[in-house]
Amino acid sequence: MNMHRPLLVAALAAAAGLSLAPVGPARAATTPTANANQLEGNPVPGVCMLSREAVFAQSKVGQAASERLRQLATQQQSLLENQRKPLDADIQAFQQKSSTLTEAQRQQQGQALQQRMQSFQAQANELDQRIQLTRSKVMQQIGEQAQPIVASSYASHHCGLLLNRDAVLGGNATNDLTGDVVRGLDGRITSLNFNLEPAPAAPAK
């Protein structure tokens, strides 16, 4: 019987990945990449750009939310790790004495361990779901706070079209609203108070 230790990769990746883009230098919020600079060209009147990823990653509230979610995920992971230690010990003990057991005993004890492993993995998957749900809700709240700032910046720059900066391969960044939105959001809100969302309810059978 090949016993595999359950992993928390999904939960850990979610905990580490709240920020939608890495936090870079301050000018990253207002200028495109070096490759885009080579394709800068002339400004297009009425065409503006915005990086929501940079707004979330570089604003104070986005960074605070990232740290809060990491803390919550780490707490829950520690609880899971405490449950995994005795399970690992029992798996090791089973493997060591397996050759001394009868076939019926090996099957019975192996199935019991398998059920415990599946239960542990289900808890890890549930944690992953809770982190993702929380992340989505927090990003929505930040987006709602940023929306009037985006609208104001859009109007002040006399925009007629707003593009996602992260999907633009090149162009003039004169009307990049990202820096304005980050500064406006920092002046509006710097933190959010939240806990992990509950696990989604199982579908009714």
Measured in whole angstroms, the distance separating CA 93 from the mean position of its chain's CA atoms is 37
List the single range of 24-28, 54-58, 118-122 with lowest mean pLDDT.
24-28
pLDDT for 104 equals 92
What is the average per-residue pLDDT within 136-150?
A: 93
Q: Residue 130: which of 200, 71, 61, 177 has the closest Cα?
A: 200
**In terms of residues, how long is the chain?**
205
pLDDT for 73 equals 93
Higher-scoring residue by pLDDT: 191, 168: 191
Which two three-digit tokens encode residue 130? 């809770």
Strand partners, 176: 49
DSSP SS3 for 161: strand
What is the average per-residue pLDDT within 86-109?
A: 92
Distance CA 131, CA 73 (A): 7
List the single range of 38-42, 144-148, 165-169 with lowest mean pLDDT.
38-42
List the single range of 3-17, 53-67, 176-190 with lowest mean pLDDT.
3-17
The pLDDT confidence band at residue 124, using thresholds 50, 70 and 90, is very high
Alpha helix (H) ranges present in the chain? 9-16, 34-37, 52-58, 60-97, 103-156, 178-188
Can you give the pTM of this predicted structure?
Answer: 0.68
What is the average per-residue pLDDT within 123-150?
A: 93
Q: Terminal CA-to-CA distance of the chain, rounded, Å? A: 33
For 23-53, b/e burial (b = at least 16 CB within 10 A) is eeeeebbbebeeebeeeeeeeeeebbbbbbb
Which pLDDT tens digit goes with each residue over 165-174? 888 877 777 7
List the single range of 30-39, 143-152, 190-199 with lowest mean pLDDT.
30-39
The pLDDT confidence band at residue 8, using thresholds 50, 70 and 90, is very low
Question: Angle formed by the axes of helices 178-188 and 103-156, to 10°?
Answer: 100
Residue 69 has, within 13 A of its CA and on its CB side, a CA count of 29
Average pLDDT over the chain reads 81
Would you kindly state where each structural domain of the chain is located, as residue ranges?
A: 9-188
